[in-house]
Structure 1
């Protein structure tokens, strides 16, 4: 152990004869402890909120999605289907037809997006878990599964044959529209289920059999809007993506789950960064107390510093004493704060101390990277604060008393 570090540890453990200096030192240490604990708790809270928010996207978003690169649809040939069936990384895939439609029931109407799916869709995403009531649709039928918001807007129930839902889609073509019959394709349907995912999806989507959607849009049998893939657990996403792209070519753009929710991921990451910067600012203010504490300690220890200088310690050695002392305050205070934060997070996970709603506890997630981020932040700020304070030591200060 170096001479400077040994003296720094002694100074850190010992009390000053001046109670005011002791009080300032305690305040500095408590500030570091509370700052580091707060930062880790908030980062864990945001990690929990991020996981909680993204769990809904995992219910309805596939591992990979092939979207048309040009226009609204593309042709999937039999040869491409056979090649996709032979890919080892793909567990399931579902063909999808998607388009904006107009829904009417009784005297109420609304705009929506119809998503026509085939019989494999339930294997690609866990859509069954989102059903609030009712059942999933059957293929070769006129059944719909609608969002909770749309169901509320149209005052619909489940299997209410007295209130059929008419789906309208504009017919493709050119020229002037002479009648509503010539302007729209339409079909009468019935709601068999209502899903609840989030407000945006609840107010936007209705699920339908793929053949019904193709009929409304006048699509050819092999014409689709997209393909959604579920990969095997051991599959390499990048390799699977390359293999699918090689089969489907440039007519599609492949996106993973993060890319499908690019705006959501950016928003969550931006919020997380903003909170980190705000609480780091709080820590910077706390370390001003550390600087003040070290400077007060220097003034209080002038006689001791003069003695150390006279027995051979250099100004550089004496500066190191207070540099190490400030760094130790930061590191030790940070570790204690992290320990306190871990206890609080464990209590929240075990006993749900803070609730969002009467039935939903505030989610928290422990992540090892957050632990290292907080510890690294505390260490860097401690080193900077210690350096600022230690350079106040001059030869004139320790040479004459």
Structure 2
């Protein structure tokens, strides 16, 4: 960009005539600003939701989960436990057996996932921050207790303070040939409600924690487990311990990290985020079409001015640069205005929680947001590409007019 460019551009801008072209340029600038602002805000909300879910799952779920490579259960032996305990970074091993069962309470019934856990599960403190009613206990005075998700509690109207009603759990039993009595086609066990937790919808509406010994009897899986949940020291390298544990246990078991257990959900969130980015990019591209038309109209409107500049020695390259830079100024002014406003709104939401969830039962009072600079980079890159695509053709057309005037 040289001195002649500034002189030529000043010549164009010195004309104070307000025209329809100026109105289109201003509208284009505003639409680009609004689109950019909305894109920054929506991507920040997706980042905040993903960050929130990762935080929830890392608090409630274990660092590593050991499951059988084939089948639903495996034999849980002292030797297997000793192999895992031998790793220095391991702090807790919680043996788990879970399956779906029919849950009944005071004439109401529904299906839920019953998760039998060892009593050290309570000692780990994973549910300490999510108890909303009752007590965190699985067994007391030889009495078994269930810790129920809030969604299950609402559906069945479970009252942990009512000692007269127990929770009934039904599970299909092995049916012998010639068995006709329906009462012997299922196993029924009763358990007292102990507490109610509220973590996240998929947990709250489907999950009930019970003692592992109770689950063994209900599912008729004595000595078998569905998985082992392994908690590590806070300073441990999860990936390194996973590889070490996989070598120790061999091919009969799979060792998964917390992110791998919930990998499907994180993939869905990333796909949704990508398509949102794509949608708003298209909106910004549509707004940039106005820039395309306004520059074309400007090229037509300024034919005489272009001819005067050409007569004064301006080259076609200079004229092309003027129109190209004009398009970039309109687009980038709108984009950076929208970027500034979007970042300001996100920072205000982080600090003051301006937009609330509007629900008393929500995990957080306000919508979570998080700024990731990679999103800002790709947003700016998208705007640059779209702007160049929409501005380059009018600039070329204006340069063609210069060559035509030179030929005449």
TM (normalized to structure 2)? 0.86
RMSD after superposition:
2.9
Whether 1:392 and 2:397 are equivalent positions in the alignment is: yes
Whether 1:240 and 2:245 are equivalent positions in the alignment is: no
Distance between the aligned counterparts of 2:300 and 2:56, measured in 1? 59
Flag structure 2 segments of 5+ consecutive residues without an equivalent: none
Distance between the aligned counterparts of 2:213 and 2:225, measured in 1? 10
Instruction: Give the 3-state SS of the residue equivalent to 1:250 in structure 2.
Output: coil
Distance between the aligned counterparts of 2:12 and 2:137, measured in 1? 70
Superposed counterparts of 1:135-146, under 5 Å: 135-139=135-139, 141-146=143-148
Question: What corresponds to 1:376 in structure 2?
Answer: 381
Question: What corresponds to 1:219 in structure 2?
Answer: 221
Question: What corresponds to 1:356 in structure 2?
Answer: 357
Q: 1:14 to 1:161 in 2, by over 3 A?
A: farther
**8 Å CA contact retained: 2:59, 2:126:** yes
Distance between the aligned counterparts of 1:79 and 1:14, measured in 2? 87
Question: What corresponds to 1:72 in structure 2?
Answer: 72
Instruction: Give the 3-state SS of the residue equivalent to 2:370 in structure 1.
Output: coil
**8 Å CA contact retained: 1:90, 1:229:** yes
Give the CA deviation at 1:15. 5.6
**8 Å CA contact retained: 1:347, 1:353:** yes
Give the CA deviation at 1:37. 1.4
Give the CA deviation at 1:300. 3.5
Flag structure 1 segments of 5+ consecutive residues without an equivalent: none
Instruction: Give the 3-state SS of the residue equivalent to 2:137 in structure 1.
Output: coil
Instruction: Give the 3-state SS of the residue equivalent to 1:258 in structure 2.
Output: helix
Superposed counterparts of 1:116-265, under 5 Å: 116-122=116-122, 126-139=126-139, 141-172=143-174, 174-180=176-182, 182-221=184-223, 223-265=224-266
Q: 1:286 to 1:123 in 2, by over 3 A?
A: farther
**8 Å CA contact retained: 1:141, 1:212:** no
**8 Å CA contact retained: 1:147, 1:206:** yes
Question: What corresponds to 1:333 in structure 2?
Answer: 334
Instruction: Give the 3-state SS of the residue equivalent to 1:102 in structure 2.
Output: strand
Instruction: Give the 3-state SS of the residue equivalent to 2:97 in structure 1.
Output: strand
Q: 1:45 to 1:14 in 2, by over 3 A?
A: farther
**8 Å CA contact retained: 2:76, 2:225:** yes
Q: 1:380 to 1:4 in 2, by over 3 A?
A: farther
Distance between the aligned counterparts of 1:4 and 1:76, measured in 2? 82
Instruction: Give the 3-state SS of the residue equivalent to 2:192 in structure 1.
Output: strand
TM (normalized to structure 1)? 0.87
Distance between the aligned counterparts of 1:370 and 1:5, measured in 2? 34
Distance between the aligned counterparts of 2:12 and 2:79, measured in 1? 75
Paired residues in the alignment total 400
**8 Å CA contact retained: 1:15, 1:22:** no
Give the CA deviation at 1:112. 2.2
Q: 1:382 to 1:230 in 2, by over 3 A?
A: farther
Instruction: Give the 3-state SS of the residue equivalent to 1:99 in structure 2.
Output: strand
Deviates more, 1:321-330 or 1:335-344: 321-330
Question: What corresponds to 1:62 in structure 2?
Answer: 62
Instruction: Give the 3-state SS of the residue equivalent to 1:363 in structure 2.
Output: coil
**8 Å CA contact retained: 2:310, 2:402:** no
Q: 1:380 to 1:49 in 2, by over 3 A?
A: same
**8 Å CA contact retained: 1:21, 1:297:** yes
Q: 1:103 to 1:35 in 2, by over 3 A?
A: closer
Q: 1:120 to 1:312 in 2, by over 3 A?
A: farther
Q: 1:396 to 1:21 in 2, by over 3 A?
A: closer
Distance between the aligned counterparts of 2:123 and 2:334, measured in 1? 50
